[in-house]
Amino acid sequence: MLETNDEKPSKCKTLLASMDILTKHIEKALKELDRDSVSEMLDMILRAKSIFVMGTGRSGLVGKAFATRLMHLGLRVYVVGESTTPALHSDDCVVAISGSGETRSIVDLGRVVKEIGATLIAITSKPESSLGEMADVTVRIFGRAKDDGDGDSEEDYLARHLLGEYAKLSELAPLGTTFEITALVFLDAAIAELMVHMGKDSKALKEMHTKLEA
């Protein structure tokens, strides 16, 4: 028996609920975003001689996506940990991405950044964390870090509402998914704002796109 389009979504209840809760997280992050800290972050990026981006795991992938767009804007940008990344200097800035703000390697590198005298920008869901406290500017992104517990929360309430009495956020968006997805959206939106500040359009970005793709 063939299934109709109306019947198919019922087989993807968790998928649909997951997309719904991620969308709600992005909406909440937008409402809670501190525009002053975001403006300060953008100014720091534009003033920097070079921009360095760092993160681990999936946050690191979000950082690489952000670095790619910064390169498309014509900015000098590097990803920390790559073999081609040069030395950091005091007139540079570092964008550190960590949901918990306690990722050991990122916190340790953050201390090195401060010792050198470069500008440190933290993107985290925990402004009170070690990384958030040491940064020159901290942008709080609403979302759950992978190290957060599974206790009742506003996010779990949404999960139960979408999927049932026993649902938890960890079933719909495991580990640090909500932070990572929301950070990706935020940083892509930051690129759009930087385009306005720099007088760039999509054509200018396309001209910087690699021509050597396999």
Q: Rounded distance, CA 160 to CA 146, Å? A: 20
Q: Catalytic site residue 180? A: yes
State the CATH number of the domain containing residue 102: 3.40.50.10490
DSSP state of 31: H
Place of tokens 């360095």: 52
Q: What pLDDT was estimated at residue 96?
A: 99
Among the ranges given (28-42, 92-106, 155-169), the one the predictor scored with the smallest mean pLDDT: 155-169
Q: Rounded distance, CA 182 to CA 186, Å? A: 6
Q: pLDDT band at 212, cuts 50/70/90?
A: low
Whether residue 122 contacts residue 137, with contact meaning beta carbons closer than 8 Å, is answered with: yes
Does any domain span residue 65?
Answer: yes
Q: HSE on the CB side for 30, CA within 13 Å?
A: 8
**What pTM did the predictor assign?**
0.82
Q: What percent of the chain has pLDDT over 70?
A: 78
Does any domain span residue 168?
Answer: no
Range of the domain at 40: 22-144+176-200
Does any domain span residue 164?
Answer: no
Give me the mean pLDDT over the 146-173 stretch. 51
Of the candidates 180, 193, 207, 213, the residue annotated as catalytic is 180
Does any domain span residue 16?
Answer: no
Does any domain span residue 167?
Answer: no
Does any domain span residue 166?
Answer: no
Does any domain span residue 35?
Answer: yes
Does any domain span residue 11?
Answer: no
The domain tally of the chain equals 1
Tens digits of residue pLDDT in 85-115: 999 999 999 999 999 999 999 999 999 999 9
Place of tokens 């100014």: 43
